[in-house]
Amino acid sequence: MAKYVYDFAEGNRDLKDLLGGKGANLAEMTNLGLPVPAGFTITTEACRRFLTDGAQIGGLGDEIDRHLAGLEAAMGRRLGDPADPLLVSVRSGAKFSMPGMMETVLNVGLNDDSVAGLSRQAGGNDRFAWDSYRRLIQMFGKTVCDVPGDEFEDALHNAKVAKGVEDDVQLDADDLKSLVSAYKKVFVKHVGHDFPQDPRRQLDLAIEAVFRSWNADRAVLYRRQERIPADLGTAVNVVAMVFGNLGPDSGTGVAFTRDPSTGDSGIYGDYLQNAQGEDVVAGIRNTLPLADLEKIDKKSYDELLQIMATLEGHYRDLCDIEFTIERGKLWMLQTRVGKRTAAAAFTIAAQLVDEGMIDLDEAVTRVSGAQLAQLMFPRFDLAGHPSPLTRGVGASPGAAYGSVVFTSARAVELAASGEKAILVRRETNPDDLPGMIAAQGILTSRGGKTSHAAVVARGMGKTCVCGADQVEVGRDRFTVGGQVVREGDVISIDGTTGRVYLGEVPVRPSEVVQYFEGDLDPALANEPLVAAVHQLMTHADSRARLRVRANADTGTDAARARRFGAHGIGLCRTEHMFLGDRRELVERLILAHDKTGRDGALAALQPLQRADFLDIFREMNGQPVTVRLIDPPLHEFLPSLEELAVQVAVAKERGEEAERDERMLAAVRRMHEQNPMLGLRGVRLGLVIPGLFAMQVRAIAEAAVALAAEGGRPRPEIMVPLVGAVQELETVRAEAEKIIAEVVGDTGVEVLIGTMIEVPRAALTAGQIAEAAEFFSFGTNDLTQMAWGFSRDDVEGAFFWRYLELGIFGISPFESLDRDGVGRLVRIATDEGRATRPGLKLGVCGEHGGDPESVHFFHEVGLDYVSCSPFRVPIARLEAGRAAVESAGSDHR
Dihedrals phi, psi of 311, to nearest 5 degrees: -70, -40
Catalytic residue list contains 845? yes
Which run of H or E residues covers position 477?
A: strand 477-480
The Cα 282–Cα 182 span in angstroms is 23
Q: Which pairing describes strands 288-289 and 88-94: parallel, antiparallel, or unpaired?
A: unpaired
The alpha carbon dihedral of 765, 771, 772, 775 has a sign of positive
The Cα 507–Cα 492 span in angstroms is 11
Mapped onto helix, strand or coil, the DSSP state of residue 649 is helix
Q: Which pairing describes strands 441-444 and 421-425: parallel, antiparallel, or unpaired?
A: parallel
Using alpha carbons, select from 275, 277, 282 the residue that is nearest to residue 246. Answer: 275
Which run of H or E residues covers position 571?
A: strand 569-573
List of residues 6+ apart from 419 with CB closer than 8 A:
402, 403
Dihedrals phi, psi of 625, to nearest 5 degrees: -130, 115
Using alpha carbons, select from 450, 14, 397, 16 the residue that is nearest to residue 228. Answer: 16
> Do 7 and 20 meet the contact criterion of CB atoms below 8 Å apart?
no
> Do 501 and 388 meet the contact criterion of CB atoms below 8 Å apart?
yes
Selected catalytic residue, list 845, 848, 859, 868: 845
Catalytic residue list contains 466? no
Beta strand ranges found along 25-141 (DSSP E): 39-42, 78-79, 85-86, 88-94, 104-108
Torsion of CA 840, 846, 850, 851, to 10 degrees: -110
The alpha carbon dihedral of 803, 805, 809, 811 has a sign of positive
The Cα 235–Cα 839 span in angstroms is 51
Q: In what order do the strands lie in the sheet containing 471-473?
A: 471-473, 477-480, 483-486
Which run of H or E residues covers position 185?
A: helix 173-191
The Cα 704–Cα 708 span in angstroms is 6
CA–CA–CA angle 399, 400, 405 (5° rounding): 155
Q: Longest C-alpha distance within the chain, in Å?
A: 105
Which run of H or E residues covers position 206?
A: helix 199-213
The angle that helices 199-213 and 60-75 make with each other, rounded to 10 degrees, is 120
Distance of CA 715 to the CA centre of its chain: 37
Q: Which alpha helices (H) appear in 655-779, and where do they start and end?
A: 659-671, 683-688, 692-709, 726-744, 760-764, 766-769
Beta strand ranges found along 220-316 (DSSP E): 234-240, 251-258, 265-273, 288-289
Residue 537, sorted as left (phi over 0), alpha (psi -120 to 50) or beta, turns out to be alpha
Using alpha carbons, select from 250, 240, 239 the residue that is nearest to residue 123. Answer: 250
The Cα 155–Cα 186 span in angstroms is 9
List of residues 6+ apart from 385 with CB closer than 8 A:
none
Q: In what order do the strands lie in the sheet containing 393-396?
A: 390-391, 499-502, 490-494, 399-405, 421-425, 441-444, 463-466, 393-396
The Cα 738–Cα 863 span in angstroms is 30
Selected catalytic residue, list 67, 452, 539, 859: 452
CB atoms within 10 A of CB 474: 13
Active site residues: 452, 845
